[in-house]
């Protein structure tokens, strides 16, 4: 009888130990999943203004209309509560929802296809722990013919190559980790790579800048003039961790990416991202000829700059360290597409505020008192002074964006 009792106790102990290990393994997976979801910045797109985190309902701008982001909370009726890990992996790897319908690439499965299955399982495990929210999002907001989801099968055949990430054996582990984060989980190319007229990223121009939702996602190649070629690895890490360097401050959509994602990532991952960006090679576009100072646009722009901008950015465009961005030699200033510059001058902007750099400096809106030609002149001057060289900004460009952002001239 005693032997039976001892055996029973041993079995109970074994069961308890196995349960404890299972709980510990699940905890580790959830914690890992939280870090991966943070690196993917899922919360930014899947949280509506004033809405609950991950509950969806944010309108995402696309060339074909606005698409509402899905509810990722574990609600059975309106979220992913009824999904399995296989359903989630299929959506991420193939762009196919649980019901078999095609997802639009505004949900960047074209990048997420590179994420490993263990990482996807961990992300799914974490999402099942977030607070459940009932939010029935309208997922069919595009007009005809773009509302025909079955047509995405043809789009995928032309522009989507599924397949998980394959490390380059000729590169370092750190480079490959950075490639995994940039090209896959972080889906940086979704915003920073030019698109063709069908909404597909041009893979041959990976990270060479793109216009998205009235902002310019700048060049992230190692190009010394337009990209991060002039940045050190440490400067890129500082920018992603704090939202600023000594000479520049993140604003617009990138400020949100930093505050909600990269500022919360391990420094080792940020270093890997910086290593990848620095070692990939430059796009190599030649610099244009700078517009001469005697040009009428430059003269008009110089007067506006001295009157309106020089107090903060200094007459030499040097800026104020960690407060007002440097304009001289700043790649953001000479991007081929000046949309972000026009946006900031017209509507103003606030820099990123992070735990490491809690002060988010602000740029006031100047669109209320500067006309379209004046904004064009001052930006043309900034883009062609102190060693900068870039195409002029036209008053028509300013007029069109002013209509989009709704900043009237008083």
The pLDDT assigned to 22 comes to 52
302: confidence class by pLDDT, cuts 50, 70, 90: very high
Please calculate the CA angle 239-243-246 and round it to the nearest 5 degrees: 60
21 pLDDT more than 80: no
CATH 3.40.50.720 fits 296-405, yes or no: no
Q: How far apart are CA 276 and CA 25, in angstroms?
A: 31
Can you tell me the mean pLDDT for 120-131?
97
Average model confidence (pLDDT) across the chain: 92
Quote the tokens at residue 221. Answer: 């190649």
Instruction: Determine if the peptide bond prior to 145 is cis (ω within 30°).
Output: yes
The pLDDT assigned to 39 comes to 97
Q: How far apart are CA 219 and CA 216, in angstroms?
A: 9
Same fold: 173-279 with 296-405: yes
Q: Which CATH class for the 173-279 domain?
A: mainly alpha
Q: How far apart are CA 127 and CA 106, in angstroms?
A: 20
Say what percent of the chain tops pLDDT 90. 81
Q: How far apart are CA 277 and CA 204, in angstroms?
A: 16
Q: How far apart are CA 138 and CA 30, in angstroms?
A: 29
10: confidence class by pLDDT, cuts 50, 70, 90: low
Q: 0.85 exceeded by the pTM? A: yes
The distance from CA 147 to its chain's CA centroid, rounded to whole angstroms, is 25
Can you tell me the mean pLDDT for 299-308?
97
Q: Which residues of 321-343 are buried (b: 16+ CB within 10 A; e: fewer)?
A: ebebbbbbbbbbbbbbbbbbbbb
The pLDDT assigned to 282 comes to 72
Report pLDDT digits (tens) over 362-397.
999 999 999 999 999 999 999 999 999 999 999 999
Q: What is the domain partition of the chain in residue ranges? A: 42-159, 173-279, 296-405
Cα→Cα distances 369→210, 324, 407, Å: 29, 21, 10
Phi, psi of 36 (to 5 degrees): -70, -40
The pLDDT assigned to 172 comes to 96
């Amino acid at each position: 009888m005693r032997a039976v009792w001892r055996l029973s106790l041993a079995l109970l102990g074994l069961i308890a130990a196995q349960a404890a290990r299972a709980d510990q393994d699940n905890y580790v997976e959830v914690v890992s999943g939280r870090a991966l979801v943070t690196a993917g910045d899922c919360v930014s797109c899947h949280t509506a203004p004033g809405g609950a985190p991950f509950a969806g309902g944010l309108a995402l701008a696309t060339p074909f209309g606005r698409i509402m982001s899905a509810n990722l909370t574990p609600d059975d009726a309106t979220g992913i509560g009824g999904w399995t890990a296989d359903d989630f992996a299929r959506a991420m790897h193939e762009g196919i929802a649980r019901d078999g319908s095609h997802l639009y690439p505004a949900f960047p499965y074209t990048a997420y296809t590179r994420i490993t299955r263990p990482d996807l399982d961990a992300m799914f495990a974490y999402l099942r722990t977030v607070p459940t929210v009932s939010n029935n999002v309208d997922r069919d907001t595009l007009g005809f013919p773009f509302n025909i989801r079955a047509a995405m099968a043809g789009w995928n055949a032309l522009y989507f190559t599924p397949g998980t990430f394959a490390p380059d054996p000729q590169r370092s582990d750190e480079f490959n980790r950075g490639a995994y984060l940039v090209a896959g989980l972080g889906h940086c190319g979704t915003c920073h790579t030019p698109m063709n007229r069908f909404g597909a990223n041009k893979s041959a121009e990976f990270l060479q800048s793109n216009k998205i939702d009235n902002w310019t996602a700048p060049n992230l190649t190692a190009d010394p003039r337009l990209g991060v070629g002039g940045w050190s690895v440490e400067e890129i890490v500082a920018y992603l961790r704090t939202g600023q360097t000594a000479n520049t401050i993140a604003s617009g959509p990138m400020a949100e990416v930093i505050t909600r994602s990269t500022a919360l990532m391990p420094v080792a991952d940020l270093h890997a991202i910086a290593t990848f960006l620095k070692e990939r090679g430059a796009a190599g576009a030649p610099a244009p000829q700078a517009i001469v100072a005697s040009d009428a646009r430059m003269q008009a722009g110089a007067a506006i700059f001295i009157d309106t901008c020089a107090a903060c950015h200094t007459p030499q465009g040097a800026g104020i360290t960690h407060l007002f961005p440097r304009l001289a030699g700043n790649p953001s200033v000479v991007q081929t597409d000046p949309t972000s510059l026009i946006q900031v001058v017209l509507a103003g902007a606030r820099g990123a505020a992070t735990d490491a750099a809690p002060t988010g400096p602000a740029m006031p809106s100047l669109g209320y008192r500067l006309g379209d030609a004046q904004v064009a002149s001052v930006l043309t001057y900034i883009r062609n002074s102190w060693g900068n060289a870039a195409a002029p900004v036209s008053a028509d460009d300013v007029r069109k964006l002013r209509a989009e952002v709704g900043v009237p001239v008083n």
